[in-house]
């Protein structure tokens, strides 16, 4: 290492399409410790294009750690080894000179590979479209503080709403479960007054869609919480399970 730069070896998954065979390709790079992982890939792609080679396909958008599209598995960790950090906010100073980094896409049956490090995460969108919204007419915008919400409920709702839908929970779960994602989306609406009318219909529809698009069951290892770049708690899975049980009891006219 010299002048704030390190040498690293990259083993990057390359795959031309969803029905093509893929494999790892190795690259040697010298990169600034101030660069993010995505900036390192940008520099590498510039070199590949100058050589007339196909650049590495990867996703990004905000590059501020709030949209989740940048998700890459780095050395076995979705988004990388730094806790509560999205790939775009992971800087090379967190790695050692001479280290080998293995970069691969999020792997799950519900996330087919599009190319290289890009996967199709539209399965998460389908779950949201099934019920992750409020469709009842709530009227005009209310005056501030006119709808009472307890501090405790508001805090829990905000914490659940921090989920950015990146899919890291799915990628790290041995069963490719999306229950942390769905639990967060169910929770933040179930905790607020505006979400009460549709709360039981919502959870039934979202859980059904989650199963339909191919996500697995919860493995109860807490790996999802550990790898979540926003630290969303598994408490939201428990809340979703309670919501789902209540919905089923009500649909069978069982008194709660």
Is 86 exposed, middle or buried (CB count within 10 Å of its CB: 0-12, 13-18, 19+)?
Answer: buried
Give the range of the structural domain holding residue 213, as residue numbers without chain letter: 122-251
Check whether residue 88 and residue 209 sit in a common domain.
Answer: no
Place of tokens 């290892």: 221
Check whether residue 86 and residue 154 sit in a common domain.
Answer: no
Check whether residue 87 and residue 70 sit in a common domain.
Answer: yes
Task: Specify if 215 maps to a domain.
Answer: yes
pLDDT of residue 137: 78
Mean pLDDT value across residues 20-43: 98
pLDDT at 76 over 60: yes
Q: How confident is the model at residue 146 (pLDDT cuts 50, 70, 90)?
A: confident
Paired tokens of 52: 């007339």
- Report which of residues 148 and 235 the model is more confident about: 235
Q: How confident is the model at residue 148 (pLDDT cuts 50, 70, 90)?
A: confident
pLDDT at 1 over 60: no
pLDDT of residue 136: 83
Check whether residue 97 and residue 189 sit in a common domain.
Answer: no
Which of 64, 96, 114 is the last residue in one of the domains?
A: 114
Task: Specify if 201 maps to a domain.
Answer: yes
Check whether residue 72 and residue 18 sit in a common domain.
Answer: yes
Check whether residue 127 and residue 243 sit in a common domain.
Answer: yes
Task: Specify if 82 maps to a domain.
Answer: yes
Check whether residue 107 and residue 185 sit in a common domain.
Answer: no
What predicted TM-score, i.e. pTM, was given to this entire model?
0.93
Phi, psi of 95 (to 5 degrees): -120, 165
Give the total number of structural domains in the chain.
2
pLDDT at 104 over 60: yes
pLDDT at 30 over 90: yes
Check whether residue 95 and residue 127 sit in a common domain.
Answer: no
Check whether residue 188 and residue 128 sit in a common domain.
Answer: yes
pLDDT at 144 over 80: no
In CATH, what number is assigned to the domain containing residue 43? 3.10.20.30
Percent of the chain clearing pLDDT 90 (strictly above): 90
Closest CA to 161 of 187, 135, 180: 187
Check whether residue 146 and residue 27 sit in a common domain.
Answer: no
Task: Specify if 256 maps to a domain.
Answer: no
> What's the mean per-residue pLDDT of the chain?
95
Contact 215, 177 (CB under 8 A): yes
């Amino acid at each position: 290492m010299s002048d704030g730069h390190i040498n690293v070896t990259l083993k990057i998954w390359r795959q031309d399409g969803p029905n093509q065979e893929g494999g790892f390709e190795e690259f040697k790079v010298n990169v600034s410790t101030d660069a993010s992982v995505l900036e390192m890939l940008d520099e590498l792609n510039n070199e590949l294009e100058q050589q007339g080679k196909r650049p590495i396909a990867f996703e990004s958008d905000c590059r501020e750690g709030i949209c989740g599209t940048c998700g890459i598995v780095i050395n076995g960790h979705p988004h990388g080894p730094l806790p509560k950090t999205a790939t775009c906010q992971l800087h090379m100073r967190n790695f050692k000179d001479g280290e080998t980094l293995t970069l691969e896409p999020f792997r799950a049956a519900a996330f087919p590979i599009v190319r290289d490090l890009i996967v199709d995460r539209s399965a998460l969108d389908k779950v949201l479209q099934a019920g992750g919204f409020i469709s009842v007419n709530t009227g005009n915008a209310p005056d501030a503080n006119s709808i009472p919400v307890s501090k405790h409920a508001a805090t829990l709702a905000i914490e659940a709403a921090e989920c950015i839908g990146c899919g890291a929970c799915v990628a790290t779960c041995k069963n490719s479960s999306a229950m942390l994602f769905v639990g967060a989306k169910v929770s933040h609406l179930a905790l607020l007054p505006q979400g009460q009318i549709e709360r039981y219909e919502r959870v039934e529809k979202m859980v059904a869609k989650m199963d339909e698009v191919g996500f697995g069951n919860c493995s109860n290892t807490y790996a999802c919480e550990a790898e979540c770049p926003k630290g969303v708690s598994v408490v939201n899975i428990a809340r979703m399970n309670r919501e789902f049980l209540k919905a089923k009891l009500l649909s069978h006219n069982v008194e709660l």
